[in-house]
Amino acid sequence: MTDARVVGIGMTEFGVHDRPLPELFADAAFEAFDDAGVEGVDIDAFYLGNAMGGQTERDTHLAPTLATHVGIAGVPCQRYEDACATSSNAFKHAVRAVEAGDHDVVLVGGVERCTPTTGLDTPEMTSIFASAAHRQYEQPTGLTFPGVFGLLTTRHMHEYGTTEEELAAVAVKNHRHGTLNPRAQFGKEITVEDVLEGPVVASPFRLMDCCPFSDGAAAVVVTNDEIAGTLDGDPVGVAGIGHATDVIPLADKADLTATQSARDAASQAYEAAGTGPDDLDVVEVHDCFTGAEVLAIEALDLVEDGEGGRAAVEGLTALEGRIPVNPSGGLKAKGHPIGATGVAQLVELTEQLRGDAGDRQVEGAERALAHNLGGDAATTVVTILEGAT
């Protein structure tokens, strides 16, 4: 076994992109190639995350199409689909292949379009997102994904007294972080009052509790430690990856507020990295809704169960807090092009560990964690990265 390194990163701005997926993806892929100091001819394999292209773009068998578009036709290509945890699962398998010596230099990327550039309006896109819920036992109720997290969060509010104001504080924090990220979809600060005055999407969530529909792409180049030493890109180590699932449908979950797959994935990742929550310097979590960040920081053991709601209010998770969460702005402000999100988290954390994150840099960041959750928390992938020492 060898150790895996991220040696190149790239991503588009997240927002609205009225361009075909291959063109969007190429921008991220070539940025990652250039950052690593590799050319297409150096790439041995391609791991793609795209969750919904068959439904949103009438476009499948995407991995070889994208590979061809960026000049790496012929290499083994595979595409992953795990709802919102799509491209972190692609990353996991790329890392395992490098660790096993199957491939030396691999491209991992994600791309997705979710805005009206697809020709789909809000009800149609809401329906496509809802296809990650159980086809027979959940979709016929009219459950949406804001509704899924509404159910989990309403229960958390009941059990622990979490309030709408506390949820709003998560949005306020992540919007503030987003103003420091030039690739973020939203670049303006908001107030708790702005959030609380917005229209309800699915209770307890109002419009600004929810991440936006986004288009975008992200890519990383992964290689082994030996080759990493010969390339231009400043390497970051992959210290541990955890990947766990939970039952579907959500009514069968033992505990609605635990996000058990995140707890299981975090335990695996902490053990693999030989580290724990107290050793982390910076964290990106899957804040598709404000309540999702509350559940995530508890599942990762960054705070005690029941205290997630107060974290943003007390500044604990702010850029200058005890454990900065979502310095990128998170899904909430940076945007959430589903299949690109997992890799985009790793792009942010690589920049943080390199000291390249500009105004949102967490000083001296050496160890970072990404939490990427899919569906109703039925899938979570947790990745721990470490700066070169």
**Residues known to be catalytic:** 84, 336
CA 245 to chain centre: 16
Q: Does 389 bind another protein (CB under 8 A)?
A: no
Q: Does 250 bind another protein (CB under 8 A)?
A: yes
Cβ proximity to another protein, 204 vs 324, nearer residue: 204
Cβ proximity to another protein, 203 vs 275, nearer residue: 203
Distance CA 94, CA 108 (A): 7
Kind and range of the H or E element at 206? strand 205-206
Which of the stretches 14-22, 99-107, 148-156, 213-221 binds another protein when contact is defined by CB under 8 A?
Answer: 148-156
Q: How far is the CB of 374 from another protein (least distance, A)?
A: 18
Beta strands in 14-88 (DSSP E): 45-49, 77-80
Q: Does 55 bind another protein (CB under 8 A)?
A: no
Q: How far is the CB of 131 from another protein (least distance, A)?
A: 9
Q: How far is the CB of 85 from another protein (least distance, A)?
A: 20
Among 69, 93, 96, 155, binds another protein (CB under 8 A): 155
Neighbours of 15 (CB within 10 A): 19
Count of residues making up the chain: 389
Cβ proximity to another protein, 130 vs 266, nearer residue: 130
Q: How far is the CB of 344 from another protein (least distance, A)?
A: 25
Nearest to 306 by CA among 298, 314, 318: 298
Cβ proximity to another protein, 136 vs 230, nearer residue: 136
Q: Say which DSSP state 289 is in.
A: B
User: What number of CA atoms fall less than 13 Å from residue 274's CA on the CB side?
Assistant: 3
Single-letter amino acid code for the residue at 238: V
**Angle separating helix axes 260-273 and 290-299, nearest 10 degrees:** 50
Distance CA 306, CA 311 (A): 10
Which of the stretches 94-102, 202-210, 264-272, 302-310 binds another protein when contact is defined by CB under 8 A?
Answer: 202-210
Q: How far is the CB of 194 from another protein (least distance, A)?
A: 18
* Residues 125-144, mask of contacts with another protein (x by CB under 8 A): -xx--x---x-xxxxxxxxx
Q: Say which DSSP state 301 is in.
A: T
Among 29, 51, 152, 369, binds another protein (CB under 8 A): 152
Please name every residue paired with 222 in a beta bridge, in sequence order, or none if there are none: 6, 106
- Binding residues (CB under 8 A) for another protein: these are 122-124, 126-127, 130, 134, 136-144, 146-147, 150-152, 154-155, 158, 199-204, 247, 249-252, 254, 256
